[in-house]
A and B are shown apart, each in its own frame.
Chain A
Amino acid sequence: MGSATEYNRRDIFKRAAAITVLAAGSGSLLAACAGGSGSSDSKKAGEYNLKDAKNPFGVDPKAGLEAFIFDGGYGKDYLAAFAAIYSKTYPDAKVNQQADKDITGKLQPRFNAGSPPDVIDDSGNKQIKLDVLVKDKSLVDLAPLLDAPYIDDPSKKVRDVLMPGTIESGTIDGKVYNLSYAYTMWGLWYSGKLFKDNGWTVPKTWAEFITVCEQAKAKGIAPLAHQGKYPYYINVAILDMIAKQGGLDLMARIDKLDPTAWDDPAVKTAVEAFFQVVEKDFLLPGTNGMTHTESQTAWNQYKAVFIPSGSWLENEQLTSTPADFEMTFLPMPSLPGDKLPFEAIRAGSGEPFVVPTKAKNVAGGLEFLRMMLTKEASGKFAQAANSLTCLKDGVGPEVQLKPGTKSTVVALKAAGANVFNFQYPNTASKFDEDLQNASGELLAKRITPAEWIKRAKESATKNKTA
């Protein structure tokens, strides 16, 4: 009944939410500390020989290694590939691979008993809360990992090859405790085949977007589908338009729940422009009440041209996507006067990998993480899990990617430094909910853009003081 994918999708949110909540509390203030000269936890760090590119953590080649990953939206196939990479360097080490959906159920008792696995992807909706683990001093500070030589190019440190935001995602109380490995991007998606068959041009501006929508509607194809039951998705589209029109300052003010942010003319411009899709009746019939599975499947059946989602979409829709669909990523189209270019996209890291302090093979765990950050491992992950990783340019041209993931690589390259990420969905849950509800009403044409903005402002006011 499709509930497996449902959990996957929700897991991804919860995961992303949990990580960023933790990161947000401490990240910005103390990131400087984490990014400093590795002054943290000198007792531990001293034990490592970080000059040694071959074996900086002093791994015992014979010591077994147990890796335990969350079996969720990214599946578990990538673990075998990682284990193989580890075994290549340490053929005598037995690598024990575990995957489960219920991290808390399986690992809480083992943490309590003092025999946790050596490396864990602590994720999913049954994740053990990372701040709880940190408070119990159960997690190894990853500063040595960040300062260790990067395997593919020992002249660099690991911290130099991570995507922006990765370290911040892993930071709790000023120290980095997890490696947020998967890299997610959000935006619109379309079928390349549908565009080719109809001879449409892929829109870069909102005007072009509207034109394509009109052409599609004339052909009897709904221009836009969205996952109406969860207005989270359409908020990506709306808020990205706002961020592009108003720039990163405005985004930061929205994240800080500054009520005056909503008075910015950019908000009005963006929301009113977006509202055209409702006014012009561009929505897939019934999409306002659909689940993500229903709407995405309808989109896969060419019933709609565009749909907003994150880069897990391809993996989530694997079974319903036709082979020649050519899933393609599209940043939100530009409005006149946008402060960010068309190529700018929303993106960030998730999926926290940790090493427990009480693990039998801490050095092995750290080395495993270091190996995960090689180009080879990153490519394997991209292939098996259909997602990018937190390694900068982590996917080389030699890696065979599915079309959707391939298009995200292209988009990410094009975006360059123009990557942004709203924090409010993770740091201001109530505000997020209000905004989602308002968007549900907006898409159902029960409120106007002006009322939407008014609601957003009210909620920002209310939740700022609370």
Chain B
Amino acid sequence: MRHGKYPFIVGFLFLPILLYVGLVLWPYAQTFGYSLTDWSGQSQEMNFVGLDNYTKLLGDEVFLGALWHNLLLLAVLPVATILIALFFAFMLNVGGKGGTGGVQGVAGAAFYKVVFFFPQVLSIAILAVLWQAVYRSDAAGLANGALIKLGLVDPQHPMEWLNSPNLVLWCIMGVLVWGGVGFYLVLFSAAMQSIPKDIYEAALLDGAKRGQTFFKITLPLLWETIQTAWVYLAIVAMDAFALVASMTPGRTYGGGPDHHSELMSTYLMRNFLAFGEAGYACAMGVVIFFFTLILSVVSLRVTRRERIEY
């Protein structure tokens, strides 16, 4: 029956590969193609313009600003999310009082886990509405209301969180971290629980403190999971579209005030749909694609370590 093997495998893979090529690779290829044209996005007419769109991108201050914002997100978001998630996961799993009971989390760990995971259950649209209420620019906003009650903010001039050039990006970052921590907490928890308890017990017997068990045992054994988290968060940082588009001020797809929260993706969408510059927008898409690709490869390479078996 050996000779029947290849037709069988080919037959089996044909449809999935066709679907993948047709629905994933082909649209990518199309985007590359469109990025070399002056397509408006509203008609079939387009002219080949070579790399004009790309040279234009290099001189586009708004795009460069957006790129900078994405890089800032990239620098802060994964680190902040992973550190907080790691800390919580450690506390919930092995951070409890040691002693005869062996290794355990802090009291009420199961409850906290559910609570922390909550933001993950909500759709991003709901998060946006929720946080818009928090960041509301008058006294009715949760943040302003609290600060006004505490006498820290003048009720006549409340903080305009999302309308402040220096605050807006951090406000968005806060929501992203808040929304992401729960998921990575659960991810890290699962990884931690697969670490054999006797390793911890041995360490405890040897007199290891909490910090030592964390840095000497947990972290090395979690490395692969953290690496995965890193790649995912980096991709989120390159995107972050939905929150900025829905929460920040601006003509279409947010990005305001005055481009201070502009991201590559919001600028892309505005060019695509509002300005009728689909070719230019496709060029941005290609840039984002390569950025994200390179980033994933680099972070996987840089964080590569010897696998620890247990």
Contacts and interface: CB of A to CB of B under 8 A. Distances in A.
Interface of A: 1, 129, 131-132, 135, 228-232, 281, 284-291, 294, 298, 429-430, 432-433, 436-438, 440-441, 444, 446
A211 B12 CA distance: 80
Given A287-B137, A437-B251, 11 more contacts: A228-B160, A286-B137, A289-B135, A289-B137, A289-B138, A291-B132, A433-B274, A437-B257, A438-B258, A441-B258, A444-B160
A440 B258 contact: yes
A229 B276 CA distance: 23
Contacts of A294: 136, 138, 140
Nearest to A289: B137
B275 interface: yes
Contacts of A135: 43
Interface stretch (B92-100, B113-121, B150-158, B173-181): B150-158
Contacts of A432: 251
B251 to A, nearest CB: 5
A429 B275 contact: yes
Contact of A285 (B129, B158, B250, B257): B158
A433 B274 CA distance: 10
A289 B160 contact: yes
Contacts of B141: 286
22 contacts: A129-B42, A228-B160, A229-B162, A231-B249, A231-B251, A285-B155, A286-B138, A286-B139, A286-B144, A288-B160, A289-B135, A289-B160, A290-B138, A298-B138, A429-B276, A436-B250, A437-B257, A440-B256, A440-B258, A441-B257, A444-B160, A446-B165
A288 B256 contact: no
B136 A289 contact: yes
A170 B43 CA distance: 19
Interface of B: 42-43, 129, 132, 135-141, 144, 155-158, 160-163, 165, 249-251, 256-259, 270, 274-276
A129 B276 CA distance: 12
DSSP class of B's interface residues: helix, strand, loop or mixed? loop
Contacts of A286: 136-141, 144, 158, 160
A228 B249 contact: yes
Contacts of B157: 285
B139 A437 contact: no
A135 B40 CA distance: 15
Contacts of A287: 137-138
A424 B97 CA distance: 68
> Which 4 A-B pairs have CB atoms at the shortest separation, nearest pair first?
A289-B137, A286-B138, A289-B163, A286-B137
Nearest to A447: B258
A303 B239 CA distance: 38
A289 B162 contact: yes
B129 A1 contact: yes
B249 A230 contact: yes
Contacts of A433: 250-251, 270, 274
Contact of B249 (A1, A131, A229, A429): A229
A289 B251 contact: no
Nearest to B41: A129
Contacts of A436: 250-251
A429 B249 CA distance: 16
A132 B163 contact: no
A289 B250 CA distance: 10
A401 to B, nearest CB: 32
A226 to B, nearest CB: 12
A446 B155 CA distance: 20
Nearest to A135: B43
Contact of A430 (B136, B140, B258, B275): B275
Contacts of A132: 42-43
A438 B251 CA distance: 12
Given A284-B138, A441-B258, A230 B160 contact: no
Nearest to B168: A289
A243 B244 CA distance: 34
Given A229-B249, A430-B275, A437-B257, A289 B161 contact: yes
A444 B138 contact: no
A285 B154 CA distance: 10
Nearest to B247: A229
B42 A444 contact: no
Contacts of A298: 138
B52 to A, nearest CB: 12
A68 B157 CA distance: 48
A228 B162 CA distance: 11
Contacts of A441: 257-258
Nearest to A295: B138
Interface centre among B129, B162, B258 (most CB of A within 10 A): B258
Nearest to A428: B275
Interface centre among A229, A286, A288, A289 (most CB of B within 10 A): A289
Interface centre among B156, B257, B274 (most CB of A within 10 A): B257
Given A131-B42, A441-B257, A289 B156 contact: no
Interface centre among A135, A286, A430, A444 (most CB of B within 10 A): A286
A281 B137 CA distance: 16
A285 B249 contact: no
B270 to A, nearest CB: 8
B163 to A, nearest CB: 4
Contacts of A230: 249-251
Contacts of A430: 275
B43 A131 contact: yes
A298 B138 CA distance: 10
A135 B249 CA distance: 36
Nearest to A435: B251
B74 to A, nearest CB: 25
Contacts of A440: 163, 249, 256-258
A440 B251 CA distance: 11
Contacts of A131: 42-43
Contacts of B274: 429, 433
A228 B276 CA distance: 25
A132 B43 CA distance: 7
A51 B129 CA distance: 58
A290 B259 CA distance: 17
B228 to A, nearest CB: 34
A298 B139 CA distance: 12
Contacts of A437: 250-251, 256-259
A210 B132 CA distance: 32
A68 to B, nearest CB: 22
A285 B153 CA distance: 12
A288 to B, nearest CB: 5
A150 to B, nearest CB: 35
A444 B257 CA distance: 10
Interface centre among B129, B138, B144, B270 (most CB of A within 10 A): B138
A104 to B, nearest CB: 12
Contacts of B258: 437-438, 440-441
Contact of A288 (B42, B129, B163): B163
A160 B297 CA distance: 67
Contacts of A281: 156
